[in-house]
Structure 1
Amino acid sequence: MSKKTLVIGASVKPDRYSNYAIRKLVNKGHNVVSFGLEAGTVAGVQIDRQLQPYDNIHTITLYLNPKRQEAYYDYIVSLKPERVIFNPGTENYEFYEILKENHIGYETACTLVLLSTNQY
């Protein structure tokens, strides 16, 4: 089952984990949209430099450190995803509480591992 996924912190640099994640999500058949500071395309997915009012986002996977996430709290909550994945290095207890208050699920996990083990 395809889960529309927003990658926040997307990078065109092929050695970045967000880039790997986009490629792996596409290869697994998921509908992917992405946001990052640098415009470009990864595996046919355009990296948006402006926040978009995406519809029907199932999962948001984060590749931003906790301090940089603060600017996106309201935006992420407004999208009403089913879950937010906090990849290694993005763990954020303050944001976990905000998500809980808004009835949004979250996981501290690695998107790449979840995809590789068919747990996504």
Structure 2
Amino acid sequence: MNKTEKVAVLGASPKDDRYSNKAVQALLNNDHQVFPIHPICAEIHGQRCFKQLTDLPDSIDTLTLYVGEEKSSELLEQILSIKPKRIIMNPGAENSILEEKALAQGIEVVRGCTLVMLRTGQF
């Protein structure tokens, strides 16, 4: 990893046992700028939460998904509208329609685990 990225975590959870929560912490530990997306929670690991993707103040390098296909399908237009450079579909967050539309817009799509990618230097 050579640079700090702006990373939005869709499905971020304030619960310590959730992988999305662990991802927020791991991203912070790796010096990334993290934008948790949660409709109710005010902050996670000291980072202000945003209610929805369109509330983000900055452009995003990576959007990492921790929501299932049904939820990401509901948010498909919102996801594409923020134009992330890359979308990571964590295990259980795969969505073929979103993947197809993102690739058509030139957005890189990775089916992988954010935590593993960080640990192995593939993020």
Q: Aligned letter for 1:28?
A: N
Residue 5 (structure 2) aligns with = 3
Contact 1:84-1:106 within 8 A present in 2 as well: yes
User: In 1, Cα distance between the equivalents of 2:51 and 2:117?
Assistant: 27
- Segments of 4+ in structure 1 off by > 6 A? none
Contact 2:50-2:56 within 8 A present in 1 as well: no
Residue 27 (structure 1) aligns with = 29
Residue 15 (structure 1) aligns with = 17
- Which 10-residue stretch deviates more, 46-55 or 58-67? 46-55
1:83 aligns with 2:86: yes
Aligned residues: CA RMSD: 1.2
Q: Which of 37, 40, 45 is 1:38 aligned to? A: 40
The count of aligned residue pairs is 120
- Which 10-residue stretch deviates more, 2-11 or 54-63? 54-63
TM-score, length of structure 2 as denominator length: 0.91
Question: Any unmatched runs of 5+ in structure 1?
Answer: none
How far did residue 58 of structure 1 move? 0.2
Question: Any unmatched runs of 5+ in structure 2?
Answer: none
User: In 2, Cα distance between the equivalents of 1:65 and 1:50?
Assistant: 16
User: In 2, Cα distance between the equivalents of 1:19 and 1:3?
Assistant: 18
User: In 2, Cα distance between the equivalents of 1:14 and 1:58?
Assistant: 25
Q: Percent identity?
A: 38
- Which 10-residue stretch deviates more, 44-53 or 110-119? 44-53
Deviations 1:68-113 (A, max 9, x none): 1112111111111110000000111111111012111100000000
Change (3 A) 1:69 1:40: same
Residue 66 (structure 2) aligns with = 63
Q: Which of 106, 113, 117 is 2:116 aligned to? A: 113
User: In 2, Cα distance between the equivalents of 1:31 and 1:14?
Assistant: 19
